Structure 1
Amino acid sequence: MMTQRRSFLFYCLGLSLIVGIGCAAPTLGAEAMLSTDASKPLQEMPVLTGVEWQGMSPDTKLAFVLGIGHVVTIEENVISKHPELKRKGFSAKLAEGLAGVPMDTVIGTVDTFYAAHPDEAGLPVMGVIWQQLVRPKLKTGIADKPLSKSDAP
């Protein structure tokens, strides 16, 4: 029974990620979604960094942030129906740290960070969101462990 619930949770998380990517993919240029060789199929989900972020349109950035929100919201809804799945993982901490933060603020914060730190364009966008917006609002880290400087997604 627990395996079925866990499988359902992973199914929902995977589905929401696919939906988020599906929303963003049509507006992304091939360079933003694929590695440098667009003729090769993707073998895994690429990590979005500031290099790609800075070339994305405002609508594409919004689609990315919406995708993140959908993953968190779906996990919260699944946990509300299956409380035994509740844990203080990444999504829970993301929800805690981004509670009440408008999507425009998330996008603006990431834009501002990369503009102010051009030498750090290789950092993942989720790492910037975590360090700039989420982590400062948390009392404890993932799995309720004490926060440390190395806390990053």
Structure 2
Amino acid sequence: MARADTAARTLLQEFQVTSAPVDPISLARDLDVQVVPQDLDDDVSGMLLRRDGRCVIGVNRTHSRLRQRFTVAHELGHLRMHRGRPLILDTDTRVNYRNTVSSMATDREEVEANRFAAALLAPETLVRDAVYGASFRTVGELVTQLAGTFELSEIAMTYRLMNLGIISGPAH
């Protein structure tokens, strides 16, 4: 199991979250992290700020509710797994003025934070239970149904199901 999956599972167990949809804002509050909707450039989904022992997650208020949920979960992933950096700014286009080794580390952290967010919002056992109990004829119907249950975008749900080996690829 990947480190991100383990970290997400640990957080869910810590606060005894056992049903969907998982509320990442409530989990942030439980961790004493303030979540602040912000007016950010459209290509900035969110940020994590650590200062003086306090943590704040800024989330782009103009993005859809589902995107904001994923962003908060993503920033919680940075909080739990990527210690030490005082500011993490998540944008669609990453500008890096560092050497290639450190920029690769940042990309790896982003992939890991995305995996954490997916595992937090759609925990494997809950997803497998939902698939087992679902009534569907096509992969598309399954994705739509589960996206609603877990309050994820259909794209995020598709990737989660693919990563869990439940489906082999996106619905056509």
Shorter-chain TM-score bucket reads: 0.3 to 0.5
TM-score (norm 2): 0.31
| Larger relative helix fraction | 1
